[in-house]
């Protein structure tokens, strides 16, 4: 497997500032995501008015850019599942004033006004071989409300990725399978972050103040 790091950066801007030119109703708040990066319809409308086109992501829409691309893989072995950079904005300026007026009629719009700007990185490398071994080789997901802390973790991951021998790592994990295979999701995550020399994952941070 060969990976190419893109030149995309995590967008540092914190807020949507232009009001939505499309009407907003309670229905636009449907499936509001308190933890991740999925945008409800209201957020999508604000993004459009602020000149950003949300990206389709697993049947929803979000603000993201590719972090790594897979340029070559073998038919057996490590392969990239996904590697993306994310951001989600709060509201300021005319956008916040618009929400204030809407919230006076329907308090549900305070859900948007209480949002904190948030950034994150997410990378997953899977493994599958001709002997039937299947597992997640590396998964690092880290969200936060401090842009520079997220960037620090991004750079740390990139330093690790630059020096990984994927096939060697996969072989060692298979040999040490009894140490991690029976652990739950979080236990396996902690084991693998320690194996690669990465900090513990941090994700699903609630976006409200």
For 79, counting Cβ atoms within 10 Å of its Cβ (0-12 exposed, 13-18 middle, 19+ buried), the class is middle
Q: Regarding beta strands 90-91 and 15-16, do their DSSP bridges make them parallel or antiparallel, or are they unpaired?
A: parallel
Angle CA 46–207–146, to nearest 5: 100
Residue 118 in any domain: the answer is yes
Residue 77 in any domain: the answer is yes
186's CB contacts (< 8 A; 6+ apart) are none
Calculate the alpha carbon distances from 59 to 38, 56, 62, 178 in Å.
10, 6, 10, 36
Q: How many CB atoms lie within 10 A of CB 85?
A: 22
Q: What pLDDT is stored for residue 202 in this prediction?
A: 96
Q: What pLDDT is stored for residue 57 in this prediction?
A: 84
Residue 202 in any domain: the answer is no
130's CB contacts (< 8 A; 6+ apart) are 76
Cα–Cα dist 92/58, whole Å: 28
Residue 203 in any domain: the answer is no
Ramachandran area for residue 132 (φ above 0: left; ψ -120 to 50: alpha; else beta): left
N-to-C CA span, the chain: 41
Element (H, E) at 79: strand 77-88
Residue 201 in any domain: the answer is no
Q: What pLDDT is stored for residue 28 in this prediction?
A: 97
Cα–Cα dist 63/52, whole Å: 8
Residue 179 in any domain: the answer is yes
**23-36, pLDDT tens digit by residue?**
999 999 999 999 99
Cα–Cα dist 135/75, whole Å: 15
> How many residues does the structure list for the chain?
209
The residue among 126, 145, 46, 161 whose CA lies nearest residue 86 is 145
Residue 209 in any domain: the answer is no
Q: What pLDDT is stored for residue 170 in this prediction?
A: 97
Residue 204 in any domain: the answer is no
- Ranges under pLDDT 50 in the chain: none
Domain count, the chain: 1
Q: What pLDDT is stored for residue 128 in this prediction?
A: 98
- Give the range of the structural domain holding residue 11, as residue numbers without chain letter: 2-196
Q: What pLDDT is stored for residue 58 in this prediction?
A: 78
């Amino acid at each position: 497997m060969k990976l190419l790091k893109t030149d995309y950066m995590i967008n540092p801007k914190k807020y949507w500032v232009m009001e939505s030119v499309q009407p907003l109703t309670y229905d636009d708040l449907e499936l509001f995501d308190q933890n991740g990066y999925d945008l409800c319809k209201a957020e999508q409308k604000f993004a459009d008015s602020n000149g950003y086109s949300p990206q389709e992501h697993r049947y929803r829409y979000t603000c993201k850019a590719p972090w790594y691309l897979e340029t070559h893989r073998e038919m057996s072995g490590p392969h990239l599942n996904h590697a993306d950079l994310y951001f989600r904005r709060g509201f300021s300026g005319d956008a916040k004033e618009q929400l204030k007026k809407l919230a006076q009629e329907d308090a549900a719009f305070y859900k948007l006004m209480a949002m904190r700007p948030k950034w994150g990185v997410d990378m997953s490398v899977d493994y599958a071989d001709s002997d039937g071994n299947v597992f997640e080789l590396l998964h690092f997901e880290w969200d936060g409300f401090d842009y520079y802390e997220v960037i620090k973790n991004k750079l740390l991951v990139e330093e690790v990725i630059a020096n990984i021998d994927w096939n060697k790592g996969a072989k060692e994990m298979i040999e040490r399978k009894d140490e991690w295979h029976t652990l739950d999701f979080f236990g396996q995550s902690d084991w693998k972050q320690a194996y690669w020399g990465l900090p513990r994952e941090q994700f699903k941070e609630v976006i409200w103040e």
